[in-house]
Amino acid sequence: MDEQELMSRVQEGDEAAFARIVSLYKDRIVNFLYQLTGEYERAVDLSQETFMRVYFKADKYKPVGAFSSWVYTIAANLAKTDLKKRRRSIVVSLEDIQNDLQAGSFSEDAPDTGLARNLRQALDSLSPLYRLPVILKDVEGYSQEEIALIIKRPVGTVKARISRGRHMLKRYLEKAVSGSDGPALAKEFENGRA
């Protein structure tokens, strides 16, 4: 039974078909959301929410494009909303950190020079505007046309964002290797000026 058929069964309220879809996509969606958010537990929560929307918004699904694109669109939208919320809450937590610094209770971890760690930091520092298409292209392996469908932007915009995102990542990694100021660069990336 293919995905379209499974989805038409889900539209009729078939929970077994829905369980099959969850089984087929759970690892891909959790990994995708983990690469986007950088936190495993958050990625798992968002994945659950993604599948809930797949079930309850099943009637909105039209089999014109690939089913996976539709699932990724839901996941990407949820992640974007979550990242926006987190950016707002980070402002609060930085104040807390400042208080901790003044109180002398904050100790910075020794910087991890591992490649994966640097890559993770580089991705996290990238604005979601660029992070999403870069991950969809370079981690998930989608074509630019499919990414355009997922993020609902023209192909030209997708190409530009991927190119710019990759350039930012490269610059971040180069500077991280040469030992320049990582946080300042991250801030620069966050503002999309790098």
Partner 1 sequence: MEELNLLEKLGKVKAPPDFERRVMDRLAQLKSTKAPAALFGLRLSLAGALTALVIGFLLVNIFVLQKPGTLADQSRESGLDRSAGNSRLKAEVIRVMEPLNYSQEVRGLASDRGAIYILENVSDKTYQEIRY
Give the interface with partner 1 as residue ranges (CB under 8 A): 15, 18-19, 22-23, 26-27, 29-31, 34-35, 40, 43-44, 47-48, 51-52, 55-56, 115-116, 119-120, 123, 134-135, 137-139, 166, 169-170, 173
State both tokens at 50: 């993604």
Reported as type and span, the H/E element at residue 6 is helix 3-11
Q: Give the residue among 27, 128, 29 at the shortest CA–CA distance from 70.
A: 29
Sign of CA dihedral 74, 24, 140, 193: positive
Minimum distance, C-beta of residue 106 to partner 1, in the bound complex (Å): 27
Nearer to partner 1 (CB atom), residue 87 or residue 167: 167
Q: How far apart are CA 9 and CA 158, in angstroms?
A: 33
Minimum distance, C-beta of residue 45 to partner 1, in the bound complex (Å): 10
Using alpha carbons only, how large is the chain's radius of gyration in Å? Answer: 19
Nearer to partner 1 (CB atom), residue 129 or residue 173: 173
Minimum distance, C-beta of residue 141 to partner 1, in the bound complex (Å): 9
- Residue 105 has φ and ψ, to the nearest 5°, of -100, 0
Nearer to partner 1 (CB atom), residue 74 or residue 169: 169
Nearer to partner 1 (CB atom), residue 43 or residue 150: 43
Sign of CA dihedral 20, 21, 24, 27: negative
Minimum distance, C-beta of residue 100 to partner 1, in the bound complex (Å): 29
